[in-house]
Amino acid sequence: MRKINFFDTTLRDGEQSPGVNLNAQEKLIIAKQLERLGVNIIEAGFPASSRGDFLGVQEIARTIKNCSVAGLARCVKGDIDAAWEALKDGVEPRIHVFIATSDIHLKHKLKKTREEVVEQAVSMVKYAKERFPVVQWSAEDACRTDLAFLAEIVEKVIDAGASVINLPDTVGYLAPEEYGNIFRYMKEHVPNIDRVNLSAHCHDDLGMAVANSLAAIENGANQIETAVNGIGERAGNAALEEIAVALHIRKDFYQVESTIQLNEIKRTSDVVSKYSGMIVPRNKAVVGNNAFAHESGIHQDGFLKEKTTYEIISPELVGVTTDVLVLGKHSGRHAFKDRMKTLGFKLTEDEINKFFETFKNLTEKKKEITDDDLISIILEEKVADRKIGYEFESLQVHYGTEQMPTATVSLKNQETQEVIQEAATGAGSVEAVYNTLERCMEERIHLLDYRIQSNGKGRDALAEVYVTVSIEGKETAGRGVAQDVLEASAKAYVNAVNRHLIFKSNLIEIEKHHAIS
């Protein structure tokens, strides 16, 4: 069977989603999970866009051993040099160079002629090929490019040394049949096309990214570019999990295979959702909470008689387990350590001790600790940076239907170790908490978005809060988990401010979202 390579761009195009700013540590955790998921290529970032991105890509390239790590570059020497420096220690360094090819982009953005664009693409592919074993070249806005011109430039960059040709639907404009036709056209009109892998990269502006990617596969593409949960620029990229599962469930139709470990899908989706702050809608295909829920009486009746009446994907296939009790108050360190290993976390003894303490504290308040709870605790602790920003210490809230809510908060400044205590009121409890937190901090913070969801089921489920704040005109997301909703709200706010401070201290790049059009 034909093999389809998964080129995952969660950490590059996915990270360009408005409001998503992953720091280097979070990116590395996601990269490791993508490796475990079995993707073939991880696009880790855009090294020339910033020092933060450069360091993040470099660390991922040095750590990941079971798949290729790629970096994005414009067709300019400086970008290619930065990408080489960031990627050269990887197992199979790969560059993804791109230049726009549509007349619309040439006229208004690049202000170049077609001849100039061909010349730049060819010379920069040659330049990249002097360093990288694998050069992928992308025709940005390929789908609105004159087909004859596209065929001409593709032929020339293949001769220059490209071994993967990507034809993105940059603006998510085409219908599946039209997108498939582009691949067929290239196969029929580019004489050296058999020397390369053809790649599809689709955006979801008209909700057709997955359908378009599948149409490309039907018409000869053997690489697809995806993002977990479909995150990405504007309406997002093609969702990895939907394509992987469609190829598996409809193998009879597509007749292709991939290396994706389907039972790692749910965990990958959770990790990306928690770190990116992009909550997965309940009805999202494959990974939404309702994806396997049967509600109508007729459906339930059929399902109970024979699952296949209404179920084409089993939850187990994609790693969805029912919320079984795994650990509780009486569980010891050994059981905890064992469960962590089963969940796939490789932790040091120090980390185990630290997380075990957090776990024990939680069992005082919550009877049943599910896998989901454990993952949440660990993700929370793993990214907590104790050197920059503020550490949440304690919170007290007075609320009554006839009273103005009042909050008292205690925070520690992690640099000076000074403990800051303040109190303030608000129209509601969350507002009182946030007014108080703002008093404790030097930054002026505007809350743009607040979302809350329960992590698992039951009255004692953990609360998970996601906020987006704007500080000094920059948007940053934050996440907090606690058994109490107000504590989770406070932690999410502190997390957002800390992440902003990390960006400011140059560990992460804040200009990146403006760097790529």
Nearer to ligand KIV, 225 or 242 (CB): 225
CA angle, residues 93, 94, 97, in degrees to nearest 5: 145
CA-to-CA distance for 229 and 240, rounded, in angstroms? 7
Instruction: List, as one string, the DSSP characters of 165-205.
Output: EEEEETT----HHHHHHHHHHHHHH-TTGGGSEEEEEEB-T
Please state the closest distance from residue 13 (CB atom) to ligand KIV, in A.
5
Taking CA atoms, 504 is separated from 165, 346, 405, 497, in Å, by: 37, 30, 33, 11
Q: Which of 10, 136, 170, 269 contacts ligand KIV by CB under 6 A? A: 170
Q: Is residue 97 within 8 Å of 73, Cβ to Cβ?
A: yes
Q: Is residue 202 within 8 Å of 169, Cβ to Cβ?
A: yes
Please state the closest distance from residue 130 (CB atom) to Zn ion, in A.
26
Q: Which of 10, 25, 138, 199 contacts ligand KIV by CB under 6 A? A: 138
Q: Is residue 238 within 8 Å of 270, Cβ to Cβ?
A: no
Please state the closest distance from residue 102 (CB atom) to ligand KIV, in A.
10
Q: Which does 476 bind (CB under 5 to 8 A by kind): Zn ion, ligand KIV, none?
A: none
CA-to-CA distance for 104 and 217, rounded, in angstroms? 27
Please state the closest distance from residue 442 (CB atom) to ligand KIV, in A.
37
The residues near 401 (Cβ < 8 Å, ≥ 6 apart) are none
Q: Which does 98 bind (CB under 5 to 8 A by kind): ligand KIV, Zn ion, none?
A: ligand KIV
Q: Which of 6, 98, 275, 355 contacts ligand KIV by CB under 6 A? A: 98
The number of beta carbons lying within 10 Å of the beta carbon of residue 113 is 11
Q: Which residue is nearest to Zn ion (CB)?
A: 13
Binding positions for ligand KIV, 179-218, rule CB under 6 A: 201, 203
Q: Which does 53 bind (CB under 5 to 8 A by kind): Zn ion, ligand KIV, none?
A: none
Q: Is residue 92 within 8 Å of 68, Cβ to Cβ?
A: yes
CA-to-CA distance for 125 and 161, rounded, in angstroms? 6
Q: What DSSP designation does 89 have?
A: T
Q: Which does 274 bind (CB under 5 to 8 A by kind): Zn ion, ligand KIV, none?
A: none
Q: Which does 284 bind (CB under 5 to 8 A by kind): ligand KIV, Zn ion, none?
A: none
Q: Where do contacts with Zn ion occur on this chain (CB under 5 A)?
A: 13
Q: What is the 3-state secondary structure (H, E, C) of 416-453?
A: CCCEEEEEEECCCHHHHHHHHHHHHCCCCEEEEEEEEE
Binding positions for ligand KIV, 139-168, rule CB under 6 A: 140, 168
Nearer to ligand KIV, 117 or 467 (CB): 117
Please state the closest distance from residue 515 (CB atom) to ligand KIV, in A.
11
CA-to-CA distance for 19 and 17, rounded, in angstroms? 6
Please state the closest distance from residue 173 (CB atom) to Zn ion, in A.
13
Q: Which does 500 bind (CB under 5 to 8 A by kind): Zn ion, ligand KIV, none?
A: none
Nearer to ligand KIV, 170 or 498 (CB): 170
Binding positions for ligand KIV, 252-311, rule CB under 6 A: none
In terms of C-beta density within 10 A (0-12 exposed, 13-18 middle, 19 or more buried), how is residue 450 classed? middle
Q: Contact between 15 and ligand KIV (CB under 6 A)?
A: no
Q: By rule CB under 6 A, what count of residues binds ligand KIV?
A: 8
Which residues make up the interface to ligand KIV (CB under 6 A)? Answer: 13, 98, 138, 140, 168, 170, 201, 203
